[in-house]
Amino acid sequence: MTAQDRLWQMDAFRRNANGELAEIMGSSMVRHDKTQRVLQFRNTARRIYANLPAEDRARLDDYARGVNLFIAQHLDSKDGASLPPEFRLLAIARSRGAAWTR
């Protein structure tokens, strides 16, 4: 349900934390992205995940599977037309290789 209602927001927040906003927002975000990469939010999240109890990791894995199912179902439509409009406006091509991870 979250992906259905908030996929664009989820993707933007992920890109923000990972230092990948310049890819979609342009070169004005490069400095921001460099800072985010120095802060290593992605690596911190991976360490936290690795140290969670198995039960909690399973919940996060299930959540990611649900997001990926939603994406896969909507990528099957012509040009991803069923994805949120922000993806089309910014010409963001979601590929099957860009899976949502926990």
What single letter denotes the amino acid at residue 40?
Answer: Q
Give the pLDDT of residue 31.
98
pLDDT band at 2 (very low <50, low <70, confident <90, very high): confident
From residue 99, give the alpha-carbon distance in Å to each of 13, 27, 32, 69, 94: 15, 25, 24, 10, 9
pLDDT band at 80 (very low <50, low <70, confident <90, very high): low
Residue 95 has pLDDT above 50, yes or no: no
Query: pLDDT digits over 18-43, tens only?
Result: 999 998 889 999 999 999 999 999 99
Query: pLDDT digits over 37-74, tens only?
Result: 999 999 999 999 999 999 999 999 999 999 999 888 88
